[in-house]
Structure 1
Amino acid sequence: MPTTVHLIAAARPNFMKVAPVYHALKREPWCDVKLVHTGQHYDANMSDAFFQDLGLPAPDFHLGVGSGSHAEQTGGVMIAYEKICLSDRPDWIIVVGDVNSTAACAMVGAKLLIPVIHLEAGLRSGDRRMPEETNRLVTDAIADLLWTPSPDADENLRREGVAEERIERIGNIMMDSYELLRDRITRENAPAAHGLTPGNYGVVTLHRPSNVDDKATLTLLVEQLLKASELVPLFFAVHPRTRKRLEDFGLLTQLQTAPHMTLAEPVSYVPFMSLVSNAKLVITDSGGVQEESTYLDIPCLTLRDNTERPITVTEGTNRLVKPEHLLENVATVMRGEWPHGRRPDLWDGQTAARIVKSLKKRSGN
């Protein structure tokens, strides 16, 4: 009998991470891999397009949980996924990242005594105000195997008392996603579709509550972005949460009418990475973009007090920037004074192959 593996996807960053793993495991005769989509992101722009871009089939199981409070999402995923596991019990569950579905499915597996693997384990921001940090801590505490992307993640787990045999560094799966689709990304030429000149624009993504839920903070950010757009044109992929806050606070029109600001709906993976790979700089509060910009040696201005990916700062092109200092940091980039970085070890597009090797060994195949 082949080893049955459930691969959990929930939110946009998850889709990029599961795709190379799915394709690699699908090629293995000893493995029966099944996709589980929790439906935590239900907007077609936020999920379905990503499946198409990444060559993923329709999920084997779709839980259809949708939006809601953290408790509603976590509880809804647990209830729905437990039913799947009871009727179609897997040998392994692979969860990725740090969203509510990650912790929820890990808890289901742990309570049903199904081995759980956490891909992208060990990342820590040290900021428990972030719900993602709670999800990371919970998932790593109960997962049986922790696949880490970087040495700092290994050290975080050791410091928390995790046994060495549960920790295995396999590299950064996000780079596999990029390499998987590099040719399509190159052909996409998304900058031209938006009237942008390669190498002469910035990409902006904002969605974290600390940046968009407070009127004073978001107002300051809009002011800084408008001034920055006078130095370099900006492409702003506006998250639904952010768009609502911009509307609520009366800030959206300023951005829409700014001559050097392009606003768009969230962009699926291939066109988004076409935009990022051709950008002069990236302004973000996302986790994944910090990694992709480091891989591509593109300046990344992260609007956060901390990051769970410190290797992108110590070795890469990422820097943490306070909202009030955004404009001066953009000016530093435009003067050509931003430091270059290097790709961290095992960020090489071969992580999925190491995952297959690890799982095969631990499954006894």
Structure 2
Amino acid sequence: MKIAPIVHAIQKAKKGGKEMDFRLIHTGQHFDKKMSGDFFEQLNIPEPHANLEAGGGTQAEQTAAIMVRFEQELLTNPTDLVLVVGDVTSTMACAITAQKLGVKVAHVEAGIRSNDWTMPEEINRLVTDSITNFFFTTSEIANENLIRSGVEKERVFFVGNTMIDTLLKNRERFVAPLIWNEVGLSDKNYIVLTLHRPGNVDQEQHLKLLLNEIILNSNSIPIIFPVHPRTAKSLQGMGIAAPNLHFTEPLSYLEFNFLVEKAKLVVTDSGGITEETTVMGVPCITLRDNTERPETITIGTNELIGTNPRAIKPAFEKLFNGEWKKGSIPELWDGHTAERIINSISALFEV
């Protein structure tokens, strides 16, 4: 979702006469078809020039496999710039590898911080931003984080959010998943639930308490729960069931956002989903103690309620009483972020 608009912006610039090209490298970190392959097809991303097939294993094993294989990729196919997105293991591993080979690095979605070092993503962000050359940011808060850490202002480019480029471009293409008709869902009369963070799903008793509170306070409207592979392992044998709780496989991008756009509420521990709910004006509850996307709370429709199951009831009451905030859209989340990124790179390299 983050790379698709950048690819399209490069292709457009090339057609417009810019001497610019790209190689798209899939590290293989995400190898589930619904969580990787479908995105290429649905978002019109060309097939990767290379797939490093480095998925599976521990954090360290993944990082090592990506670095070894990406180093060979760069040695075989030299480049002027490595552009990495987000905060996954691949982001950090590829940034380190590029810098050790003397290749400049640009980080898209730089500067966001949860200040929670128990999150692998936070370590990835900190390491990546400590060795990045050019920083493309989603918010003024991210800009401030980078400046405070000692990054020179001229290396920080406030461009907006490529996730929102993808959302706005594809919004008219959203498609109902099978579960829409199977359950008989209707507009603004169901809840979408996603959980995948270790703190929420790895401890069976805690996960059970969260789900029971969500079910108890749902006013019996359907709860649609696309289950992340990590969460599926914890749910096995737990025996959680309710007439209005409906589990489903991970959904494709177009199917999932169809559900989100029409939901009465989204309950999640994902950062990216809170950005999408903010732009679509959908109430969102985040089951985390911190967030790297505070603008979704201060400006958007998201509320951070922590991981204590007891916080669920008052939040749900607020929603069902019609007291949820309206929210608005953060600056530059307008669908043109990728164009600004490519224009900035063109100027930096005088293309």
Q: Which residue of 2 aligns with 1:35?
A: 24
For the Cα contact (< 8 Å) 2:218–2:316, is it kept in 1?
no
Q: Which residue of 2 aligns with 1:265?
A: 249
- Segments of structure 2 that go 5 or more residues without pairing to the other structure are none
2:280 is aligned with 1:296: yes
Distance in structure 2 (CA, Å) of the matches to 1:325 and 1:273: 26
SS in 2 for 1:94: strand
Distance in structure 1 (CA, Å) of the matches to 2:184 and 2:225: 13
Q: CA deviation at 1:192?
A: 3.8
Within 5 A, what are the aligned runs for 1:322-337? 322=306, 323-337=309-323
Distance in structure 2 (CA, Å) of the matches to 1:294 and 1:161: 30
Alignment length, in residue pairs? 343
Distance in structure 1 (CA, Å) of the matches to 2:82 and 2:22: 10
Match among 26, 34, 39 for residue 11 of structure 2: 26
For the Cα contact (< 8 Å) 2:164–2:276, is it kept in 1?
yes
SS in 1 for 2:92: helix
Q: CA deviation at 1:216?
A: 2.6
Change (3 A) 1:325 1:160: same
2:342 is aligned with 1:356: yes
- Segments of structure 1 that go 5 or more residues without pairing to the other structure are 1-15
Change (3 A) 1:358 1:193: farther
Distance in structure 2 (CA, Å) of the matches to 1:140 and 1:194: 45
Distance in structure 1 (CA, Å) of the matches to 2:172 and 2:329: 20
Spell out, residue by residue over 1:186-215, the C-alpha distance to the aligned partner (whole angstroms, 9 max, x if none): xx1343465211111111110000101112
Distance in structure 1 (CA, Å) of the matches to 2:183 and 2:207: 25
Distance in structure 2 (CA, Å) of the matches to 1:141 and 1:254: 43
Q: Which residue of 1 aligns with 2:159?
A: 170
SS in 2 for 1:28: helix
Spell out, residue by residue over 1:209-247, the C-alpha distance to the aligned partner (whole angstroms, 9 max, x if none): 010111231121121122134443111010011010111
2:66 is aligned with 1:80: no
Spell out, residue by residue over 1:242-293, the C-alpha distance to the aligned partner (whole angstroms, 9 max, x if none): 010111xx32x323xx211111011110011111111111000001001011
SS in 1 for 2:24: strand
Spell out, residue by residue over 1:5-63, the C-alpha distance to the aligned partner (whole angstroms, 9 max, x if none): xxxxxxxxxxx000011111112222112211001011112111111111112110100
Distance in structure 2 (CA, Å) of the matches to 1:354 and 1:51: 22
For the Cα contact (< 8 Å) 1:128–1:134, is it kept in 2?
yes
TM-score, scaled relative to structure 1: 0.92
Match among 288, 293, 307 for residue 309 of structure 1: 293
Q: CA deviation at 1:67?
A: 1.3
SS in 2 for 1:244: helix
Q: Which residue of 2 aligns with 1:158?
A: 147
Change (3 A) 1:192 1:198: farther
For the Cα contact (< 8 Å) 2:283–2:302, is it kept in 1?
yes
Distance in structure 2 (CA, Å) of the matches to 1:164 and 1:19: 27
Distance in structure 2 (CA, Å) of the matches to 1:109 and 1:341: 40
2:201 is aligned with 1:212: yes
Q: Which residue of 2 aligns with 1:103?
A: 92
2:193 is aligned with 1:201: no
State the percentage of identical aligned residues. Answer: 47
The residue identity in structure 1 corresponding to 2:282 is I
